């Protein structure tokens, strides 16, 4: 059938008009398909760009959070070598260059005992548990800064070079408070000597030591201490007790043990004392 023959038989148009209409129809169909294809590609490109933008924003967000975090973050490979550490981790080690950590075992700058604890924590993470350890690093003031570290294993993936993540938090202040509480529970605040509780513990340890105990126990008090308090006041009494404590400590050896039992009463455990034959 010739193009446009139906219209010709009905007398709507001639042969030339029919051919023209068929050509126009083909152009319209082709243009519609082309426009649809362009729109599909445009939408696909928009989706791709949106995904790329979202990925970049996500990476930027994660990087910002990572670098701004006060906690130390380290990523390790399957062998326990550092793949990445954030700025907080570098500051904790007193380093400026990440290259001093990357590619080396995590904790290689620690003492031998701490390195053993690191291996124990990583082994726990390999088994799917959370490894925990507390490490001390030299601080800027010469003391130790303490960090509580948690080691976790990431999801297994053939394309994922990172196996473990370690989060370390500075607990120096918390540990300092805990140490102060423990110290206060076992020491006398005035003289800073061990108190009765710590003295009792030490005495039991000496008595329970293997072999025949070889020590001497001295218990003494300050004569007329009550009169000093009554006549000169408690400040003078406290000064007298502090002076007595200092002189007792200066009069014994390093291995001996001096304690304040309470009031004006003191006790001394002299170690390695042998009876005369």
The domain ranges of the chain are: 5-65, 69-178, 187-271
CATH class of the structural domain 69-178: alpha beta
Name which of 130-139, 143-152, 157-166 the model is least confident about: 157-166
For the segment(s) 187-271, the CATH number from 3.40.50.180, 3.40.309.10, 3.30.70.270, 3.50.50.100 is 3.30.70.270
Inter-residue contact 85 to 102 (CB < 8 Å):
yes
Kindly indicate the confidence band of residue 19, based on its pLDDT and cuts at 50, 70 and 90: low
Domains 69-178 and 187-271 share a fold: no
What number is the average pLDDT over the span 103-108?
Answer: 91
Residue spans of alpha helices (H) in 69-171: 87-93, 112-126
Inter-residue contact 144 to 137 (CB < 8 Å):
yes
Residue 232 has pLDDT above 70, yes or no: yes
Q: Which residues have C-beta within 8 Å of that of residue 164, sequence separation ≥ 6?
A: 75, 76, 77, 80, 122, 125, 151, 152, 153, 154
Residue spans of beta strands (DSSP E) within the chain: 72-76, 82-85, 131-138, 144-153, 164-170, 215-221, 257-262, 265-271
Buried-exposed string 159-174: b where 16+ CB fall within 10 A, e elsewhere:
eeeebbbbbbebbeee
Q: Is the pTM of this model over 0.75?
A: no
Kindly indicate the confidence band of residue 98, based on its pLDDT and cuts at 50, 70 and 90: confident
Per the model's pLDDT, the better-predicted residue between 169 and 45 turns out to be: 169
How high is the pLDDT of residue 207? 86
Question: Which has the closest alpha carbon to 175: 217, 208, 134, 210?
Answer: 134
Q: How far is CA 230 from CA 226, 227, 234, 241, in A?
A: 6, 5, 8, 15
At 44-88, the pLDDT tens digits run 666 666 665 655 555 554 566 566 678 898 989 989 999 888 888
Q: Rounded to the nearest 5°, which phi and psi values hold at 110? A: -90, 170
């Amino acid at each position: 059938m010739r193009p446009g023959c139906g219209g010709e038989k009905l007398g709507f148009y001639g042969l030339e008009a029919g051919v023209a209409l068929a050509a126009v129809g083909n152009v319209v169909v082709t243009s519609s398909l082309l426009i649809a294809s362009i729109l599909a590609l445009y939408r696909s490109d928009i989706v791709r760009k949106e995904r790329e933008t979202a990925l970049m924003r996500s990476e930027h967000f994660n990087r910002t959070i990572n670098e701004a975090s006060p906690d130390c973050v380290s990523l390790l490979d399957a062998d326990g070598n550092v793949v990445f550490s954030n700025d907080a981790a570098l500051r904790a080690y007193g380093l400026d260059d990440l290259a001093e950590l990357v590619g080396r075992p995590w904790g290689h700058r620690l003492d031998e005992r701490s390195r053993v604890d690191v291996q124990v924590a990583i082994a726990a993470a390999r088994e799917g548990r959370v490894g925990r350890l507390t490490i001390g690093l030299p601080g800027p003031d010469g003391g130790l800064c303490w960090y509580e570290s948690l080691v976790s294993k990431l999801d297994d993936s053939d394309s994922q070079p990172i196996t473990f993540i370690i989060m370390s938090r500075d607990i120096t202040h918390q540990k300092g408070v805990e140490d102060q509480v423990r110290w206060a529970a076992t020491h006398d605040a005035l003289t800073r000597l061990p108190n009765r509780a710590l003295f009792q513990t030490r005495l039991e340890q000496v008595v329970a030591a293997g072999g025949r105990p070889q020590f001497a126990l001295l218990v003494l008090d300050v004569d007329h201490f009550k009169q000093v308090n009554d006549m000169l006041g408690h400040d003078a009494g406290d000064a007298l007790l502090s002076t007595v404590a200092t002189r007792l400590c200066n009069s014994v050896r390093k291995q001996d043990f001096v304690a304040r039992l309470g009031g004006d009463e003191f006790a001394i455990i002299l170690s390695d004392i042998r009876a005369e034959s």
